[in-house]
Amino acid sequence: MSNSNHNAGADILLDIRGLKTYFHLDEGTVRAVDGVDFTVPRGTTIGIVGESGCGKSVTAFSILQLVEKPGRIEEGSIVLNTGGQNRVDIAALDHDSEELRQIRGKDIGMIFQEPMTSLSMMYTVGFQMTEAIRLHMDVEKDEARDRAIEMLQAVGIPRPEQRFDAYPFELSGGMRQRVMIAMALSCDPMLLIADEPTTALDVTTQAQILELMQQLQEEFGMAIMLITHDLGVVAEMCSEVVVMYLGEVVEQADVDTIFHNPQHPYTQALLESIPRLGHSHEGRLNPILGSVPDPYHRPSGCPFHPRCTQIITGRCETVHPEISRLDPRHTVRCLLHEDPHG
């Protein structure tokens, strides 16, 4: 994808081009993220969906350069536009640099599936929050405390002054998730990366957290990058969707197109395979053949071809499809939609 600044550049908060993150293991190289491009417009919610091993989480970790050895960002750029002409390529920053530390937590906040990834059992919620705030904002202790309590209030934690002195283990799963969101948002980031934020939660708690995220987005105006395997969550939350399979973006479009006019056979199959509330009378489920291949044995050609029902025999096994643009906001990586102009 070369000259495709179809979205007027100013609206783009994050522009990822040709991102490749590989893991070099004894058993071989795992190409966890293998040439991913997409953009995150300011103030919107973009969903990254896919099954296990599709590279959605590694993509998120790459954005903050949190990929740990033996993983490594091999190629690509991750340009963050913090406003005006202020562009930083995060992929080019030294992973130890002050600049990167400022971006993490200040410009980009992140929440994880397991809140304990970012909360420590050893310190009170308040201590951890004020530390984070003072690391990124030039404020006094008292101000940081006020800010933290304000944030706890904003994420709907009852009696925030008391919870400020609580230890994370004293809180329920849903409350911890709220604390983590409060922490991620405490420095007013422009982008919130949420990696399966509700997967470990029950439906009713999930509903609370999703509601909260929508409400906070209205209030603070940050963009959200929502990483999930749950198509229901995507449909409820996102305005744009990126579908990933085995480290590649196979389809990208606005949410209505993805759910009502999907073009990639994988997206179509995925949507057909899930049971839907109120639709169970419509017959048997239509599962996708086989299972996600193991990362050491990536299929040749189009990585989806062994499971694809619309395979073009003789081509899909050998030709790795390029991205075709069906319309300005809709791209797909499939030989069925090959760009006639090359």
Binding residues vs another protein (CB under 8 A): 26, 51-52, 172, 174-175, 202-208, 210-211, 229-236, 255-256, 259-260, 269-271, 273-278, 280-292, 294, 297
In whole angstroms, what is the distance from residue 160 CA to residue 273 CA? 43
Tokens standing for 211? 């509601």
In whole angstroms, what is the distance from residue 288 CA to residue 308 CA? 8
Three-point CA angle 143, 144, 148, nearest 5°: 120
Tokens standing for 45? 């919610």
Tokens standing for 196? 């399966």
Residue 169 CB, shortest distance to another protein, in Å, is 14
Residue 275 CB, shortest distance to another protein, in Å, is 4
Residue 75 CB, shortest distance to another protein, in Å, is 27
Q: In terms of CB distance, is 279 or 341 closer to another protein? A: 279
Q: In terms of CB distance, is 49 or 108 closer to another protein? A: 49
Three-point CA angle 220, 89, 24, nearest 5°: 110
Residue 236 CB, shortest distance to another protein, in Å, is 5
Q: In terms of CB distance, is 26 or 140 closer to another protein? A: 26
Q: In terms of CB distance, is 36 or 270 closer to another protein? A: 270
Q: In terms of CB distance, is 97 or 309 closer to another protein? A: 309
Residue 118 CB, shortest distance to another protein, in Å, is 20
Termini Cα distance of the chain:
12
Residue 203 CB, shortest distance to another protein, in Å, is 4
Q: In terms of CB distance, is 8 or 289 closer to another protein? A: 289
In whole angstroms, what is the distance from residue 37 CA to residue 323 CA? 10
DSSP at 104: I
Q: Would you call 222 helix, strand, or coil by DSSP?
A: coil
In whole angstroms, what is the distance from residue 122 CA to residue 338 CA? 55
Residue 157 — left, alpha, or beta (φ > 0 → left; ψ -120 to 50 → alpha)?
Answer: beta
